[in-house]
Structure 1
Amino acid sequence: MSDEQPFDFSILDRVGAPHRRYGPGEKVFLEEDTGNAMYMVRSGRVDLITYGIILENVRSGGVFGEMALIDDGPRSAAAIAAEPTEVVVIDKPTFIAVVGADPQFALKVMGLLATRLRRMNKQVG
């Protein structure tokens, strides 16, 4: 999620967060899908796409789909595996457990949201 230290995936393993594997071109979710979890890339790469445009490439340690934990709204973009990829699924109870074990995790997710919002503001302005 940042260039500081790599994320310690053992925290997610300890709280029992499920893992999912996707092949190249396989959808994690589509734009407008209902969401109830965010994802962290354990290995591989996920492209976030809207209207056929790649908004972001999310690699190991990166998260996506985090808005679903905040507002329960529909997905704002599609997430497609760009190569063989493994993700960890983080629903609300898992997120709360991870934040309890590593409070900095919440700040990292908020930082990511702020970065994405700033980038959107520059594109619009």
Structure 2
Amino acid sequence: MPLAAASSVRPARPSEPTIVISRHTRESEYMNPFEMVALIVITVTIGSVLRARFGVARDRKGGGYSLQDDAAAQAENRRLRDELQAMKERLAVLERLATENDTSGARLDREIEKLRDRT
């Protein structure tokens, strides 16, 4: 009869089947509670550093997240809005010129020159 490890097998009698007592043979498969706490702390720290790096902040009540706007980003947003408004105005003029029945070439040239002078 083959013998198993002494710590995990109870000696068997001839009339009784062998009973294996459940013991984990590999302790490295399971996480120690202190390791788990350390892993949680490290994960939260990395998340906080990344949020700070990318400018994500929580509101004061702890609700949702939002991006922080600094002065440079606000200035860039203003510039882009102004540029978009100018493009919309130019598009309106070009649409008006394209749908107009007046075929006067001189008037069309003047309108195009006005658009060129705006930029």
Q: TM-score range by the shorter chain?
A: under 0.3
Indicate the structure with greater strand content.
Answer: 1
Q: Choose between structure 1 and 2 for higher RCO, CA contacts under 8 A separated by at least 6 residues.
A: 1
Indicate the structure with greater helix content.
Answer: 2
What TM-score comes out, normalization by structure 2 length? 0.20
What TM-score comes out, normalization by structure 1 length? 0.19
